[in-house]
Chain A
Amino acid sequence: MIVPAILATMAAAGEPVILCTQCHSDVRVQAERSIHSIEEVPCVSCHGGDRQGNSVATAHRGDFRGKIPRREVPALCASCHSDAERMSHYNLSTDQYALYQTSAHGRALAGGDDRVAVCTDCHGVHEILSSADARSGTFPVNVPETCARCHSDADLIRDYDLPGDPYADFLAGQHGVAFAERKDASAPVCTRCHGAHGAAPPGVGDVDRVCGQCHSTIRAYFLESPHRSAMEQKGWAECSSCHGYHLIAKTNVEMLDRNCLACHGRSSREVKLGEQLKTIYTNASDDLEAARALVDSAKQIPLYVEDYEARLQEGRTSLLESLTAMHSVDLAAVEPLTERARSIGKEVQSDVRGKLEGRKWRRVGLGIFWFYLLVTVAILVRFRRRAMRSVGRE
């Protein structure tokens, strides 16, 4: 008796009347949190039917669709999200569906495999949150876990030609360290390399492009190297052949000669070049390290070393730059940088050593000081003796 009265009042007031959640109360809490609820997208936009229907019979009628089959989800979402006019108010792009259809997910779905990710797997079903919402699965920080829900699920992934546990690999690699340990907001997550809606693994010939988006200087050097064309001919992935993918290992100086052996013969010209690169790098690094140790010991005294610290920073920058230049495998590109680092190291060493040596003159000064001091004492002792003698005479 009361409900129709309330409904009549609400209708009179022009309020939209939604009765779906009277029965579907389990969905209500989730739906009310979603961005769709905030933007007043009613249940019937997806599920059809009559939202003012007061019973199953009156509500589930007309274009009522009930539970949406997975394979229909992308097209259904796209019915609004690909509508440029409707989306313009939300400043949302409308190319997601088009991108999705090009993605590995989209192509497999079109091929009849409905176990691949559809919109709702990442964005949620009823509780769809904005990507700017920190609770959302598509919030950048949550992306690796969202992807891992399927891609690190061994049962699900078994039937596909995919790497086993990319999430664990990612966390163990340098990108994962930056992401999870250093909490570096600029660290790349899955979508940075694979794309979001158009998710696909970059193939040979594209890997360096993908990595080069961030590592642009390294890519520039790499493009100049003979490796670029040779690897493409052989069908080897560019960056990841040495550095790995997902598990991107921390680089170390050993890679400079050891990695060459993977393709080149032990006594080949290329391996010799690798050894040479390693040597000039190690020499420069050792010189900078020795300079730093000297600066540290001088700082303990303390001597004024702030200028040298700045200079060492310059040297370290050159050394780091030389590692970047190593990707050209061109001695002429690398050597000026390592030489610069090395000369800075040598220069700081000799300057600080000079300052430390200068302190040794203090000892010499002390010797001279004691000489004059003892002369003074001798004179005083003589005076005292004379005084004693005069006392004796008195």
Chain B
Amino acid sequence: MKDEPKRTSVTRWIEERFNLTEMFSFLTNFGIFPFELDTSLPLREAIAGALRRPMPSYARWPRVLGLLSVLLFAFLVITGLMLALYYQPTPARAYESVTVIVRDISFGWFLHQIHGWAADAFLLILLVRGWRFYFQGLYKPPREALWIIAIVTFLAATHVDLTGRLLGWDEQGYWNAVRAVDMLYSLPLLGPLFAFVVGGHVVDSLVLLRFYFLHVAILPMLLTVLFFLHFSGVRRVGLSQLPEESPSGPAVYRMYLYNVLILTVLIFGVLVTLATIVPAAFEKVADPFSTPAGARAPWYLLGSHGFLETFPVVVPRWVRGLALEAILAFCILLPFIDRSPGRTMRERRRANVLGLLVLVVWLLFTWIGYRMEVGA
């Protein structure tokens, strides 16, 4: 079209030099837009097309958990980067530097609390998401890979959390790490592998440095890759469909974009409220020579810890460890074990009863793990 007036805009200038749509497409790979974009279109048209895209409800229950976890992850990365400006990962300086952050730096306490609460919320949401996938049968073809990614994401998230707990070098964090390292050593096959990374039974300066590196570099990168893979998969196989839902849905994407924004604002509000009203206690500095009364594993490990510690002594520890690993393997391989196609509640009655049973047993062991007074 020759006679069209030539508009000069920054977007256009960039667009002539880069494929902006492709870049945008990469960003939408983190849950903001859950469908594939046509990267051959200019950005404006691609976005306009995306906004008009009809789809089932998104960014609201239950198709919100993935997005929610990404948002929390973003909060964690941002607050984490800020905390890293002042944190010093050595046993001699760690506690002191955290004290400086929460005491002397303006709004340092705020970042620290938000980081802690976001971490707990992040894990909780991933856990809930896992159970939703199970109860709604969302691990069945073609979503097997998404299921496996969800499990691995949860595992990676627990490790980010666990490594983060040590960094403050306070009583609870230190003994959390000690308990977790103990548990690692009782896993027969994975144990030696992880133990190699940790480097020994004693939680010392090298372990702190390794945990720090895992916490700020390796594991966040792994999580980023996992989220990328997850949403890549979602964009290819489509949003999860409940049997009774129509695939095109009642509305277009533009509405749900507002949901994403509202959600972001609300999560931020909840985190700020928690950080202000129920701030986590500032613990005493860790003393490797005395275990404080009530030193427990972190909440998501209480179940496994209770299972490992309270099972009859006649069962050797490595067998108990092996049992834990078998459960884990079962979870990961579930899509290949349960091959029945049914997804309605009626068809899944047996699987759901089993799931409920496992959930109750897990909660029971969590309770046992919580009650176990691990004193000096």
A304 CB contact (under 8 Å) in B103, B251, B252: B103
User: Within the assembled complex, what's the spacing in Å between the Cα atoms of A232 and B219?
Assistant: 83
In the bound complex, do residue A373 and residue B282 qualify as a contact, i.e. CB atoms below 8 Å apart? no
B-chain residues with CB within 8 Å of residue A64 when the two chains form the complex: none
Tell me whether A376 and B276 are in contact in the complex, defined as CB-CB below 8 angstroms, given that A300-B281, A381-B258 are known contacts. Answer: no
B-chain residues with CB within 8 Å of residue A377 when the two chains form the complex: 262, 265-266
Q: Does B361 lie at the interface of the complex (its beta carbon under 8 Å from any beta carbon of A)?
A: no
Mark each residue of chain A from 293 to 326: 1 if its CB lies under 8 Å from any CB of chain B, else 0.
Answer: 0000000111110000000000000000000000
Nearest-neighbour CB distance to chain A for B163, whole angstroms, equals 24
In the bound complex, do residue B272 and residue A376 qualify as a contact, i.e. CB atoms below 8 Å apart? no
A-chain residues with CB within 8 Å of residue B262 when the two chains form the complex: 377, 380-381, 384
User: Within the assembled complex, what's the spacing in Å between the Cα atoms of A300 and B285?
Assistant: 12
In the bound complex, do residue A387 and residue B258 qualify as a contact, i.e. CB atoms below 8 Å apart? yes
Q: Does A388 lie at the interface of the complex (its beta carbon under 8 Å from any beta carbon of B)?
A: yes
Identify which of A82-90, A171-179, A361-369 touches chain B.
Answer: A361-369
A-chain residues with CB within 8 Å of residue B272 when the two chains form the complex: 366, 369
Q: List residues of A (188-237) whose CB comes within 8 Å of B's CBs.
A: none
Q: List residues of B (269-299) whose CB comes within 8 Å of A's CBs.
A: 269, 272-273, 276-277, 281-282
B-chain residues with CB within 8 Å of residue A300 when the two chains form the complex: 281-282
B258 CB contact (under 8 Å) in A365, A370, A373, A383: A383
A-chain residues with CB within 8 Å of residue B32 when the two chains form the complex: none
User: Within the assembled complex, what's the spacing in Å between the Cα atoms of A61 and B77?
Assistant: 102
B-chain residues with CB within 8 Å of residue A302 when the two chains form the complex: 99, 102-103, 282
A301 and chain B: residue at smallest CB distance: B282
B51 and chain A: residue at smallest CB distance: A387
A363 and chain B: residue at smallest CB distance: B276
In the bound complex, do residue B269 and residue A388 qualify as a contact, i.e. CB atoms below 8 Å apart? no
Q: Does B309 lie at the interface of the complex (its beta carbon under 8 Å from any beta carbon of A)?
A: no
User: Within the assembled complex, what's the spacing in Å between the Cα atoms of A43 and B367?
Assistant: 82
Nearest-neighbour CB distance to chain B for A326, whole angstroms, equals 38
Nearest-neighbour CB distance to chain B for A301, whole angstroms, equals 6
Q: Does A1 lie at the interface of the complex (its beta carbon under 8 Å from any beta carbon of B)?
A: no
User: Within the assembled complex, what's the spacing in Å between the Cα atoms of A369 and B275?
Assistant: 13
A-chain residues with CB within 8 Å of residue B99 when the two chains form the complex: 302
Q: Does B217 lie at the interface of the complex (its beta carbon under 8 Å from any beta carbon of A)?
A: no
Nearest-neighbour CB distance to chain A for B325, whole angstroms, equals 41
In the bound complex, do residue B254 and residue A391 qualify as a contact, i.e. CB atoms below 8 Å apart? yes
User: Within the assembled complex, what's the spacing in Å between the Cα atoms of A388 and B281?
Assistant: 45
Q: Does B352 lie at the interface of the complex (its beta carbon under 8 Å from any beta carbon of A)?
A: no
Nearest-neighbour CB distance to chain B for A384, whole angstroms, equals 4
Q: Does B242 lie at the interface of the complex (its beta carbon under 8 Å from any beta carbon of A)?
A: no
In the bound complex, do residue B265 and residue A376 qualify as a contact, i.e. CB atoms below 8 Å apart? yes
A-chain residues with CB within 8 Å of residue B261 when the two chains form the complex: 380
B-chain residues with CB within 8 Å of residue A365 when the two chains form the complex: 276
In the bound complex, do residue B265 and residue A304 qualify as a contact, i.e. CB atoms below 8 Å apart? no
**Interface band, chain A:** 20 to 34
Q: Does B104 lie at the interface of the complex (its beta carbon under 8 Å from any beta carbon of A)?
A: yes
Q: Does B259 lie at the interface of the complex (its beta carbon under 8 Å from any beta carbon of A)?
A: yes
User: Within the assembled complex, what's the spacing in Å between the Cα atoms of A302 and B284?
Assistant: 10
B265 CB contact (under 8 Å) in A366, A380, A391: A380
Q: Does B202 lie at the interface of the complex (its beta carbon under 8 Å from any beta carbon of A)?
A: no
**Interface band, chain B:** 20 to 34
Q: Does B255 lie at the interface of the complex (its beta carbon under 8 Å from any beta carbon of A)?
A: yes
- Please report the number of residue pairs spanning A and B whose Cβ atoms sit closer than 8 angstroms: 52
Tell me whether A384 and B269 are in contact in the complex, defined as CB-CB below 8 angstroms, given that A304-B103, A304-B104 are known contacts. Answer: no
Tell me whether A388 and B282 are in contact in the complex, defined as CB-CB below 8 angstroms, given that A303-B103, A362-B276 are known contacts. Answer: no
A388 CB contact (under 8 Å) in B102, B255, B268: B255
B258 and chain A: residue at smallest CB distance: A384
B-chain residues with CB within 8 Å of residue A383 when the two chains form the complex: 258
B-chain residues with CB within 8 Å of residue A388 when the two chains form the complex: 251, 255
User: Within the assembled complex, what's the spacing in Å between the Cα atoms of A377 and B269?
Assistant: 11
B-chain residues with CB within 8 Å of residue A381 when the two chains form the complex: 258, 262
In the bound complex, do residue A369 and residue B258 qualify as a contact, i.e. CB atoms below 8 Å apart? no
User: Within the assembled complex, what's the spacing in Å between the Cα atoms of A383 and B256?
Assistant: 11
User: Within the assembled complex, what's the spacing in Å between the Cα atoms of A301 and B280?
Assistant: 10
B98 and chain A: residue at smallest CB distance: A302
Nearest-neighbour CB distance to chain B for A377, whole angstroms, equals 6
B-chain residues with CB within 8 Å of residue A369 when the two chains form the complex: 269, 272
B252 and chain A: residue at smallest CB distance: A391
B251 and chain A: residue at smallest CB distance: A391
B-chain residues with CB within 8 Å of residue A363 when the two chains form the complex: 276-277
User: Within the assembled complex, what's the spacing in Å between the Cα atoms of A384 and B51?
Assistant: 12
B259 CB contact (under 8 Å) in A366, A370, A373, A384: A384
Mark each residue of chain B from 46 to 78: 1 if its CB lies under 8 Å from any CB of chain A, else 0.
Answer: 000000000000000000000000000000000
User: Within the assembled complex, what's the spacing in Å between the Cα atoms of A199 and B252?
Assistant: 106
Mark each residue of chain B from 75 to 96: 1 if its CB lies under 8 Å from any CB of chain A, else 0.
Answer: 0000000000000000000000
A-chain residues with CB within 8 Å of residue B282 when the two chains form the complex: 300-302
In the bound complex, do residue A366 and residue B281 qualify as a contact, i.e. CB atoms below 8 Å apart? no
B273 CB contact (under 8 Å) in A301, A303, A366, A387: A366
Mark each residue of chain B from 290 to 326: 1 if its CB lies under 8 Å from any CB of chain A, else 0.
Answer: 0000000000000000000000000000000000000
Name the residue in B104, B251, B255 with the highest tally of chain A Cβ atoms < 10 Å from its Cβ: B255
Nearest-neighbour CB distance to chain B for A379, whole angstroms, equals 10
Nearest-neighbour CB distance to chain B for A351, whole angstroms, equals 16
In the bound complex, do residue B255 and residue A391 qualify as a contact, i.e. CB atoms below 8 Å apart? yes
Q: List residues of B (205-263) whose CB comes within 8 Å of A's CBs.
A: 251-252, 254-255, 258-259, 261-262
Nearest-neighbour CB distance to chain A for B14, whole angstroms, equals 27
A-chain residues with CB within 8 Å of residue B268 when the two chains form the complex: 373
User: Within the assembled complex, what's the spacing in Å between the Cα atoms of A380 and B254?
Assistant: 12
A-chain residues with CB within 8 Å of residue B251 when the two chains form the complex: 388, 391
Known interface pairs A300-B281, A373-B265; 14 further A-B residue pairs with C-beta atoms within 8 A, sorted by A's residue number: A302-B102, A302-B103, A304-B104, A363-B276, A366-B273, A366-B276, A370-B273, A373-B266, A373-B269, A383-B258, A384-B255, A384-B262, A387-B252, A387-B258
Closest 10 CB pairs of A and B: A384-B258, A373-B269, A387-B254, A380-B262, A366-B276, A387-B255, A302-B103, A380-B258, A362-B276, A391-B252
Can you list 9 A-B contacts (CB < 8 A)? Answer: A300-B282, A301-B103, A302-B102, A304-B103, A363-B277, A366-B272, A373-B266, A377-B265, A391-B255
